[in-house]
Structures are given as structure tokens and as C-alpha cells.
Structure 1
Amino acid sequence: MEIKGSRFTLRTWQAADAPSLQKHANNPNITACLLDRFPSPYTLADAEFFINLNLHQDPVTNFAIEINGEVAGVIGLDFRDDVYIKSPLIGYWLSEQYWGRGIIPEAVKLVTGYGFKKLDIICIMAFVFSTNPKSMRVLEKAGYTQQAVLKQSVIKNGKVLDEHVYVAYRNI
């Protein structure tokens, strides 16, 4: 499966993606804004493990961001259990060399549209650390609205941070 962007392709995973995934993911500037479950350093074994988890998804909810023939990032919907079953979280990261080019806002719009068209969901949510205003701007450009700020609710790299909650509804 592929979704074409203007300068990139969102596509399903292939085992051969591991080296480029590892190369672009192994960056402390990326891990600084992600959950601690994201490995750092990011090894080839981490890349292979992640790809194997996502190889045979049905429906597809996690996409490789391919730029110039290699995986330069990831975007996906993370489905949760219980009362959150129809309110997935969107998550993404992009290789630092492609920051500031409008790729992620476009990718967020594409995945959001795909989610509302193809999946049985009521909203898509995102949680952003207060230290990541660029990601907040990405979400705003993609039509998400800030719903709340959870004061002093997370710890990242030993610092207590606020977490900003963004939501998109079917009508975007």
C-alpha cells in the first residue's frame, strides 16, 4: 500500500528498510521528543524488530516515510484499548536532514484522511512534550486543535514537562 505525498511516499514496510531506518532513527535530536520506549541508540536490531512488528498489518496503520528511495521517517496510528478503542494516537518522526520542508504536516494530513476514510475511528489524538513546539505547529498546520495542556505530567531525560493534547475530528 502506498500514499503519495508531493515529495515523499508513505508505504508499507519491507525487510530491506532496516539499514535506512536505523541510519535516520539513530539521532538524539529525534529521540529527545519521543517516548522512552523508542530505543537510543537505535541499532540495526531495533530497526529489524520494529519492521517485523509492522510487516503484515491489516489494516495498515504504520507507514514508512520514503524519500529519495530510502526510509527517512515513520508515521502511524497507535490504537489503544478499553474506552480509547476508537481514538488512536498519531505519532511520527522524520530524519533531521528533512526538517523544515513541510513533509510532516503533509504526511499527518494524509494519514489523518486515510484513518477517517478507512478505519472505524471517532478522533485522532496527539500528545506533544512542551519542549517540542515544532511538532505542535505541525499538528496545527494539519488541522488539529489543542484541547488541553497537562501540566507537569511527564518526565523526559530527567526533566518534568507539560504535555500538550491535540485532536482531529472527522471533519478536517
Structure 2
Amino acid sequence: HPLTDVYRKTAEIGYWLAMPHRGRGIATAAVGAVVPLAFARFAIHRLQAGVFSNNPASMRVLEKNGFIREAVHQEAVVKNGVVLDEVLYVRFKKGETGDQTGTTRLP
């Protein structure tokens, strides 16, 4: 039931780009195009993305698009036999923040 889904106002974005196309601003432009569309088309106020800790280029893509680093999930993923942290980035709908009336945040 939609009203019992506590994450119904949160969506996740993900992307992958083949090696020959990296470093040319393609991912930055794609994320920049998708973010406003996601907020306009869907009833969400939070968009998040998880990035492996060994991928600073992907972190820059998100930061250039207004995402902020929110959390680090320690030893959350295993890629090619290597245990990595996952860094969680978040962006809120323009004019909204995570500190809205009625929300509870830990200190």
C-alpha cells in the first residue's frame, strides 16, 4: 500500500559509463538532465545515489550536480573480491531540505 511505504518520497539514481567515454562530462551532463526530470515527474523530495569508495570520479559527478555526501556505509559492498565502503550522496528537491517540520533527525 503506497501510504505505508515509508520510502515513497525517496528515489535512487544510478549510472555506468563505458571506459572509452569516461572523463568527457557525459555522466555529469546525464545526471544534470535526469535530476530535474525526476523531481518534476515523480512525487519525491529526495534523490540518492550510492558510490563505491574507490570511485572519486563518480563522486565528483554527483557533487557537480548539487548532491551532498550524507553517509558512509562501511564495508557494504564486495567488487572483484575487494570489500569496499559505499558512500551515499543525496539531493533534495529545490526549496526542500531534510530538516522539514515533522521530520526526526538524530543529533
Task: Tell me the TM-score normalised to structure 2 length.
Answer: 0.78
Residue of structure 2 aligned with 1:143, choices 66, 73, 77: 66
Report what 2:48 is aligned to: 125
Report what 1:164 is aligned to: 87
Residue of structure 1 aligned with 2:18, choices 95, 104, 111: 95
Instruction: Classify the secondary structure of the residue corresponding to 1:84.
Output: coil
Report what 2:100 is aligned to: none
Report what 1:54 is aligned to: none
Report what 2:28 is aligned to: 105
Instruction: Classify the secondary structure of the residue corresponding to 2:14.
Output: strand
Instruction: Classify the secondary structure of the residue corresponding to 1:127.
Output: strand
Report what 1:114 is aligned to: 37
Report the Cα offset of residue 160 of structure 1: 1.2
Report the Cα offset of residue 85 of structure 1: 2.2
Aligned length: 92
Instruction: Classify the secondary structure of the residue corresponding to 1:83.
Output: coil
Cα distance in 2, alignment partners of residues 89 and 146 from structure 1: 14
Report the Cα offset of residue 132 of structure 1: 1.0
Matching of residues 14-163 of structure 1 within 5 Å: 82-163=5-86
Q: Show structure 2 runs of 5+ residues with no match.
A: 96-107
Cα distance in 2, alignment partners of residues 142 and 132 from structure 1: 16
Cα distance in 2, alignment partners of residues 113 and 100 from structure 1: 23
Report the Cα offset of residue 139 of structure 1: 0.4
Cα distance in 2, alignment partners of residues 101 and 153 from structure 1: 29
Aligned alpha-carbon RMSD (Å): 1.7
Task: Tell me the TM-score normalised to structure 1 length.
Answer: 0.50
Q: Show structure 1 runs of 5+ residues with no match.
A: 1-80
Higher helix share: 1
Aligned-pair identity in percent equals 48
